[in-house]
Structure formats: structure tokens, C-alpha cells
Homo-oligomer: A and B are copies of this chain.
Amino acid sequence: MLTIASDFGTPYPAAMKGVIHQRTDARTVDVGHDFPRQDVRSTAFWLREVLPYFPPAVHLVVVDPGVGTDRNAIVLRAGDHALVGPDNGVLLPVARRLAGGEDGIEAFVVDETRLEPPEPTGAGSATATACSVSAEDGPASNTFHGRDVFAPAAADVHAVGIDRLGSLAFLESGEAAVDCDLPGATLEGDRATGEVLVVDDFGNAITNVVGDFLEDRERVVVNGESVPVGETFAAVPVGKRLATVGSHGYVELDVNQGRGDEAFGLSVGDRVVLEAGE
């Protein structure tokens, strides 16, 4: 199984799927192609929450604001899974989760010059003549490594098998150079200071305060305002605010059948102080 996650929308993911199906008969599964655009941290968070539910697989991830710079393409082996993507931190939180910690991760760097590039059928003159990249750069385009580097690498990783990554000529042992800042919250007695890590498509503002903080509380003070604590959205009337423990284990600031981010006036990265109180 080969899963694909990106911020590409339509139609760039299709070029990646084509390349993958050219090189392997892997079953492909779309994790999603509407991850927050060029937002490495939010994507890293979501991947950490969703990929561990998959059976052993190769996971291709392309959220890559630094495409074309000298950041490496990397492959991480984490438990029975492999992760393929840019070395910008997006892979590390989920790799740690899958590997049971930092030590379980085995890292490889992709040598793009040794990767067999995709060969589209009947490339026309525009593509051919415009291919002005230098020999040193290899054959990849400078703006679409998803198609030209990451997808071929992921397909070849799948074809050879996660246990035999060392046999791939384009992989060199290495390290993930860039980490991802998914900060924890600070807990002092009855006060937690954290931030909004991500906002989901429903508008739920997901903080980095571990859900335990809400245990045995009926209300909580959020940035100075008291709101009810509920076990479910439906604990409050439709349209009303609440704090709850989300499915990922963190405190979420929500509205029943509405958008918590708007009702609380919070965006990704905003500071959140939770306090005991009525």
C-alpha cells in the first residue's frame, strides 16, 4: 500500500499517481490533497494523527514550500512503515510515533542524480526545449519534485520493500536535518498555557494542551472567558461554544455544529491560556 498526501489540490496529484502506477502495481490511497497549503507544521500534526491507523505502508508526503532549494528529499523507515518526502520536518512527528521514538527511525537521503526519472509518453517540444536545468541538477524540474523526485522514490521504495531500502542505489544513509516545531503546552497547577496547533475543516481549534486538563471540570476559562466543558459537541446547544477533548487527545475549542475558530477568535499559532474557574 502506498498512501499519498499533499497540498496540491487538482490536478498535480494525478501526475504523481501516474508516475507511481508506471513503476509499481501498489495499491494507492489518497490521504488527502487539501492539506493546508505550504503549512508544514499543520500537515505534520495531521499526519501524526492519521497515518498510524494504516497498516504497514509507504507514505508519500509532499508539502514542500522549499521545492527547488537545496533541502534534501528523504526516506524515513519507522517501524513497518516508510515515509518519503522533503526534509523540512513534515515527516518527523509521525515517524517518531510510528517508530516508538526518535531512536527507532532510520533515515536515508535521496541522491536525485541516481534516481531514474519519470518518462512521460510523447513529451512535446515545449517540455523538451524548455528543459534548461543543468546536468548537475539532474533531470528533475525545479518546481515539481512531487512528480519528478518524491513519487518515483516512493514507488521504488514500495517496489523493493521496506526491509530492503539499503539496496536502492539512490538512497544513502543520512539524517533528517530539519525538525518540526510542534510545541507542547506549559502546565502550572490549574493553568495551562499553549497555542492553537491547527484548525480543522469544521473550524475546531485544536490546541496543544493535553486533554487531561479538562478532567472532572464542568467549565474552563479560555483566554479569560468561561465556557462549558463537554464530552461531546452536543453537550451544548447548536451554535454554542464549548471546550472538549478531541479525537487526538488534545483540548479543542469548538462550537456545536459551528466554527470554533471564529467564535473564539483564534487562528493557528494564537496563544491559549486555560484556567480553572466557573
**In the complex, A65→B239 CA distance in Å?**
12
Please give the distance in Å from A10's CB to the nearest CB on chain B. 4
Please give the distance in Å from A236's CB to the nearest CB on chain B. 11
Contact check, A97 vs B122: say whether CB atoms are below 8 A apart. Answer: yes
Task: Indicate which residue in B5, B13, B96, B246 contacts A143 across the interface (CB closer than 8 Å).
Answer: B246
Chain B residues near A100 (CB-CB < 8 A): 122
Task: Indicate which residue in B22, B69, B249 contacts A129 across the interface (CB closer than 8 Å).
Answer: B249
Contact check, B211 vs A50: say whether CB atoms are below 8 A apart. Answer: no
Contact check, B68 vs A130: say whether CB atoms are below 8 A apart. Answer: no
Contact check, A144 vs B247: say whether CB atoms are below 8 A apart. Answer: yes
For residue A118, CB closer than 8 A to chain B, the reply is: yes
Number of this chain's copies in the assembly equals: 3
For residue A177, CB closer than 8 A to chain B, the reply is: no
Name which residue of chain B comes closest to A33, CB basis.
B10
Contact check, A211 vs B249: say whether CB atoms are below 8 A apart. Answer: no
For residue A92, CB closer than 8 A to chain B, the reply is: no
Interface string of A8-23 (1 = CB under 8 A from B): 1111111101110110
Contact check, A52 vs B247: say whether CB atoms are below 8 A apart. Answer: no
For residue A58, CB closer than 8 A to chain B, the reply is: no
Residues 75-114 of A contacting B (Cβ, < 8 Å): 79-81, 96-100
Contact check, A55 vs B22: say whether CB atoms are below 8 A apart. Answer: yes
Contact check, A11 vs B29: say whether CB atoms are below 8 A apart. Answer: no
Contact check, A131 vs B67: say whether CB atoms are below 8 A apart. Answer: no
Chain B residues near A1 (CB-CB < 8 A): 21
Contact check, B132 vs A245: say whether CB atoms are below 8 A apart. Answer: yes
**In the complex, A26→B64 CA distance in Å?**
32
Name which residue of chain B comes closest to A215, CB basis.
B132
**In the complex, A100→B97 CA distance in Å?**
48
Please give the distance in Å from A118's CB to the nearest CB on chain B. 6
Interface string of A125-163 (1 = CB under 8 A from B): 111111111000000011110011000000000000000
Q: Which residues of A contact B (CB under 8 A)?
A: 1, 3, 5, 8-15, 17-19, 21-22, 28-35, 37-38, 46-55, 65-69, 79-81, 96-100, 118, 120-133, 141-144, 147-148, 200-202, 210-212, 214-215, 231-235, 244-250, 252, 257
Q: Given A14-B32, A53-B121, A97-B122, 12 more contacts at CB 8 Å?
A: A10-B201, A18-B54, A22-B54, A30-B30, A67-B232, A67-B233, A100-B122, A126-B249, A129-B212, A130-B250, A142-B231, A147-B247
> Can you show 15 pairs from A to B with CB atoms below 8 A apart?
A5-B14, A9-B201, A10-B33, A11-B35, A15-B50, A18-B53, A48-B124, A97-B123, A129-B211, A130-B249, A132-B245, A141-B246, A142-B245, A143-B246, A143-B252
